Structure 1
Amino acid sequence: MDTLRAMRYFVRVIELGSISAVSREEATSQPNVSKVLRALEAELGTRLVERSTAGLTPTDQGMRFYRRAKGVLEEYREALDEARGLTERPAGLLRINAPVAFGQLRLNGIVQRFMSAWPEIEVELILEDRYVDLVEDGVDVALRLGRRLPPDAIARRIAASQRRLYAAPAYLERRGTPAAPDELAAHEFIRFAWALDAGTLPLERGGESVQVPAGGRYRINNAMAIRDAMIQGAGIGLCPEWLVDDLLTSGQLAPVLDGWSAGAQELFLLFPSRRYQPLRARLFAEQLEAEVATLPGFA
């Protein structure tokens, strides 16, 4: 029996929840996957999954074996990558995951320059705001904004951008410009839909800090849509400088309560939970760190 193949089939059966999904992924038949799983159970002398009309459920022994088997497969992949890296050229597919707005406004240009420098590297840029399992989704490098990271993340902080208040000049002409934090309560505030500090806004200036109410009827779960709403005069928004730098330069937005901020939004570089990184991923990470430091709105 090909033990590594059997372990791979078993691990994916647990993760995908069905034999048919694994057979499609492995380009083989369902009976073949079932046969391999039965052979693995026979070799181990224990039942790994319970089969029923509702699907497959791992037994207690199966879950313990799944955790160990997944670790063994990751170690095996590391060993292969490391061996290949001894003679590796910067080539192949690089999968990058990043937040939507950052990808559109800042990352796309960096990726284009990277591809020009390394013509044998292909790039798949996946833009989404949700957290993904880097190993399971085959991601080589990920970028995340904010301090809330997965507990097992292998992350490196590479930059930060101050979060400040902005609004369109037309909105400020219509509603007036706040002169102090407590005047924000009389204004429309465009909020991120899943903000943890809903209803209040922490602001600081020098050594002074305040918590002010920040009410508003409009909540959005996308940074690009928040930009657009602010341009249209829907209200005051709290944004990192990198997100609105171009709009400040063009005069489409203006700062509100200059000198006050809500702290920095941090940018992290994330890697899969394996020690070795392909050369293409290491080269991209190096270029990314060097270029982000020069982008408008980042420090």
Structure 2
Amino acid sequence: MNREPDWNFWRSFAAMVEHGSLSGAARALSISQPTIGRHIEALELALALKLFDRTLSGLKPNATALRLYEPIRTAQAAIAEANIRATGAQDTLLGTVRITASLIISHHVLPAILAPIRLAYPNIALEIIPSDTSENLLLNDADIALRMFRPTQLELISRHLGSTDIVALAHETYLARRGTPRTLDELFQHDLIGFSGSTALIDYAKTLGYTLTDDNFAIRSADQAYLWEAIKAGLGIGFGQKVLAQTTSGLVVLPIDIKAPPLPFWLTTHEHLFTSPRIRAIYDALANGITAYIRGEPKTPSIG
């Protein structure tokens, strides 16, 4: 080995193995594809080892790379744990708190909740990470996560804030044009809005005794935020949170029991971050704000 490789080279290496492409690794690390490529070349040069096969479809990790990957992942986890413990040891209401939540919550719920929090804690910057994937708090991807399921890792602290009903809904302009369905039979004759790349709605309809296909969905997308905007634009009937629908101008909750289980809200952080005053302050304020949202209370909840 000529010299010890820069840690950034190893981060790019791990991202390449995990995501399988320069583009995927670049997105994961928020750096450019050429930078990932240079890191891989520099790592191979420093180690005097070939780690990736160059193919027409891109870089493919070889057997040596796969053997090196696990200790690098272990090192990444250890560094993330050290960062988490260091953050938890800080005793000031200064710095940044990173919050991750779904696209819908991030775009349509959090802004109103964060307004009074910013007034109460002006020296704490908030970084919002809208994502429908599960950011890993154990790897320091975020400080606080709002989940729609109960996390199970022992190192995490989670608080159940309540649940909201999932309902069928549409914009009043769509209903004025097509009429308001009042039964499941009528509902499934309308233009439906749903997910592409997922059979969740189709599978759920089957449990209710209805056979649907992709053809039943006039508008499809893998992006939750787009689907919400499509409902608001009157493009069809969709499904979403009852409390959000009731506070969105023009949306109508349909008088149909779709028998969907309620959507739970869990606020989560790492146990070592919970001792940080700034993390705890934002965590508690978020808990109050989200609880008020679930209850349909005014959008300026108390901080304390």
Settle same-fold status: TM greater than 0.5: yes
1:277 and 2:273 are equivalent in the alignment? yes
State the shift of 1:197 in Å: 3.0
Deviation at 1:220, TM superposition (A): 3.3
Shift of 1:59: 4.0
Distance 1:135 1:233, change over 3 A: same
Q: CA RMSD in A?
A: 4.4
State the one-letter code of the partner of 1:236.
I
User: What is the TM-score normalised by the length of structure 2?
Assistant: 0.67
User: Which amino acid letter does the alignment assign opposite residue 50 of structure 1?
Assistant: L
In 1, distance between residues paired with 2:155 and 2:85?
A: 21
| Matched residue, 1:177 | 180
2:194 to 188, 191, 196: 191
- Structure 1 unmatched runs, 5+: 39-46, 204-208
Q: 1:153 to 1:128 in 2, by over 3 A?
A: farther
Which has the larger displacement, 279-288 or 75-84? 75-84
User: Counterpart of 2:99 in 1: which secondary structure?
Assistant: strand
1:14 paired with 2:13, answer yes
Aligned equivalent of 2:164, options 143, 161, 165: 161
Q: TM-score, normalised by structure 1?
A: 0.68
Paired amino acid for 1:114: I
Is contact 1:16-1:22 (8 Å) kept? no
Quote the residue 1:105 is aligned against: 108
Q: How do 1:1-299 residues align onto structure 2 when only pairs under 5 Å count?
A: 8=7, 11-17=10-16, 37=47, 50=51, 57=61, 59-60=63-64, 63-79=66-82, 81-82=84-85, 85-86=88-89, 88-133=91-136, 138-145=141-148, 147=149, 156=158, 157-199=160-202, 201-202=204-205, 210-213=208-211, 215-247=216-248, 250=249, 252-271=250-269, 275-277=271-273, 279=276, 280-296=278-294
For residues 97 and 107 of structure 1, the distance between their equivalents in structure 2, rounded to whole angstroms, comes to 10
**What is the Cα deviation at residue 163 of structure 1?**
0.6
Give the whole-Å Cα distance in 1 for the aligned partners of 2:131 and 2:282. Answer: 19
Task: Please identify which structure carries the higher helix content.
Answer: 2
Name the amino acid aligned to 1:91.
L
User: Quick check: 225-234 or 103-112, which moved more?
Assistant: 225-234
Give structure 2 stretches of 5+ with no counterpart: 17-21, 23-30, 298-304
Cα deviation for residue 231 of structure 1 reads 3.9
Shift of 1:37: 4.3
Deviations 1:199-251 (A, max 9, x none): 46549xxxxx833356232223344443443344332222111331213xx5x
How has the CA–CA distance of structure 1 residues 178 and 153 changed in structure 2, closer, same or farther, with 3 Å as cutoff?
Answer: farther
The 10-residue stretch of structure 1 (5-14 or 99-108) with the greater mean CA deviation from structure 2: 5-14
Structure 1 residue ranges (4+ consecutive) displaced by more than 6 angstroms after TM superposition: 20-25, 148-153
Amino acid of the structure 1 residue aligned with 2:230: A
Quote the offset at 1:169 in angstroms: 3.6
Question: Does the C-alpha gap of structure 1 residues 149 and 120 become closer, same or farther in structure 2, counting only changes over 3 Å?
Answer: same
Q: CA deviation at 1:295?
A: 0.6
Query: Aligned residues, how many?
Result: 273
In structure 1, distance between residues paired with 2:150 and 2:82: 31
Q: Distance in 1 between matches of 2:98 and 2:196?
A: 28
> Matches of 1:221 and 1:73 in 2, distance apart?
31
Identity within the alignment, % = 21
How far apart, CA to CA, are the structure 1 residues paired with 2:284 and 2:123? 18
1:187 is paired with a residue of what secondary structure?
A: coil
